Amino acid sequence: MATATVPARNEIPVEHTWDLANIFPTPADWEAKLANVKARLPEIRQYQGRLGEGPDALAGWLETYQDLMRDTHRVVMYAALDYSTDTNNQAAAARAAQGTSLASAVQAAVSFAEPEMMGLGFATLRAWLADSPRLAIYAHYIDNLERMSAHVRSAEVEELLGQVEDPFRTAANTHGILTNSEIPFAPATSEDGVEQFEVTHGSLGALLSSPDRTVRRTAWESYADGHLAYKNTMANALAAGVKQDVFRARARRYDSSLEAALTPPNIPTAVFHNLIATFRKNLPTWHRYWRLRRKVLGVETLHEYDIKAPLASHIDVPYRQAVDWICEGMAPLGEEYVSILRRGALDERWVDIYPNKGKRLGAFSYGGPGTHPFIMMSYNDDVFSLSTLAHELGHSLHSYFSWRTQPMIYGRYTLFAAEVASNFNQALVRDYLLRTNPDRDFQIAVIEEAMSNFHRYFFIMPTLARFELELHERVERGQPLTSSAMIELMADLFAEGYGDDLVMDRERTGITWAEFSTHMYSNFYVYQYATGISGANALAAGVLAGADGAVERYLEFLHAGGALYPLDALQRAGVDLSAPEPVDAAFAVLADYVTRLEGLLL
């Protein structure tokens, strides 16, 4: 029996891996910078009690703080990236652990500063801003500090909250280790039983898109069963993570974990609730899509492993072809944007391209000031991978322009803004592909990818957000969290989304929460995928229609980084995500894709 396997990390050609030497040339250089940052921490304490000496003293602290955070970020980033591509590498795992410990120590060391600044009074701080050119750039930072002042505790409490961050990562790290390096997944098998296919995080997407229904079913079952085997451990870890969120919220005097998550980026909680209500209202669009799939596939019952079953012939898209098409799709943003994207994707090794054993689940873009962006993915030579690459390059160019334009203190933007930039790229590239290639199978493949992306962002993520809200509210009410309760809740929520048009496997569907080991440990993270795709499609529509100033406003949004609150930055770009209308409009885009598929397939 033949078996398709995933290569080991050392079998991947170096030109297909990212270039971590852009951060530190060698692990020894990383060790030196780690030691350097540790050695500087006692010096940081010398600023404590001195920030009120005047504008120059405060400016000196803020400049020192940014330098320290830049170096700390590079140390953490190098270790995290190295570990992400081979979670079986124990030396990389050790560096990653050292990096997170350092971040916690730095957070504790600088914790005195914001309470001390608040103690000076905001009238004093604003007078200093007006009088000192060195402080002028910190106006938004001070405004945000005043807005958050009710939730900043004393220096002693802030130091303690900083110190707990390292041990608080244990639950998420435990879940991640299980998921990324210790769960044994049974191989998927072909319908004729001749072939077996190794199931990994990197290979799963391609297996679920196989025309062989047995391959899809056995891959989906293997992935779910692998997580179910550890359901109690993972549920205990997630329960700890939720309790930690509740602890942080109460320690900072918020009324709920949801408020604690949405207040720092200045997002009203109504945005979250509007999204969920609009999602539930539009579920009939998904039910219509399930019916179409069942009819076209010719199956008596549609199952979850049929959601990505191909509806037309496979379209082969090698990596370089994908880069070319992405560049052509992004041409409306101008030559500079396209040239930076092409150089990063092909010449500067921003991208760790292909699957390998031990590679972490999913795809992401990461980096920081002083480095280029880094993209991790598992490219599978298909339209789905092309779109993932476009998505991550959207993040990367957003970061590139933010770092180039903003000081360190504003170089990092919120996820609420980030998911707009990534989905914007996908929207433009899909439009280009559909306009320029009339081949029926190609059109179907592109729309299928769009539906798959909307499925993740506009079906899975809002469902996970509902799940997350209920878990936090149960803990806030003092109720227990168990694996069986989590599985039942997850299955109930998906049942509403699937309606009567898809036959569920409740136990395997119910373990979906365990398959998102990163997302579920970031307090109310996932809802922003749905708001992001809504904002992206609204802004893309303006650019594609040639609306006056649409391109310029969008590029200004990319350059703004964290210098504006995300809702404000997006309103300047042309979309108001405080209202439900962009979410409804995105569902209209989704419905149009279903209509186009019906025209092509029925």
Helix (H) or strand (E) holding 70: helix 55-84
CA 558 to chain centre: 17
Query: CB atoms < 10 A from the CB of 105, how many?
Result: 18
CB atoms within 10 A of CB 584: 13
Which pair of tokens denotes residue 252?
A: 């900072």
Q: Where are the beta strands (DSSP E) in 422-574?
A: none
User: What phi, psi does 366 have (nearest 5°)?
Assistant: -145, 160
Whole-number Å distance between alpha carbons of 503 and 429: 33
The backbone torsions φ and ψ at residue 298, rounded to the nearest 5 degrees and listed phi first, read 70, 35
Specify whether 496 is catalytic.
no
Cα-Cα-Cα-Cα torsion 245, 246, 249, 252, nearest 10 degrees, comes to -110
- CB distance 478 to 440 below 8 Å: no
Q: Which residues pair with 4 in a beta bridge?
A: 197
Q: Encoding tokens for residue 80?
A: 């995290």
Q: Which residues of 423-436 are buried (b: 16+ CB within 10 A; e: fewer)?
A: bbbbbbbbbbbbee
The Cα angle at residue 451 between residues 446 and 455, in degrees rounded to 5:
150
Among the listed residues 114, 221, 392, 449, the single catalytic one is: 392
Tokens 């652990």 found at = 97
- What are residue 380's phi and psi, to 5 degrees? -120, 25
Helix spans in 110-230 (H): 113-120, 122-131, 139-147, 155-168, 170-177, 204-208, 213-228
Burial of 177 per CB tally in 10 Å (0-12, 13-18, 19+): middle
Quote the CA–CA distance of 430 and 447 in Å, as a whole number.
8
Nearest residue to 200 via CA among 4, 396, 60, 429:
4
Distance of CA 185 to the CA centre of its chain: 25
- What amino acid is encoded at 394 in this protein? G
CB atoms within 10 A of CB 484: 12
First to last CA, the chain: 38
DSSP strand pairing (374-376 vs 364-366): antiparallel
User: Which residues have CB under 8 Å from 508's CB, separation 6+?
Assistant: 220, 221, 224, 225, 228, 304
Residues with a catalytic annotation lie at 392
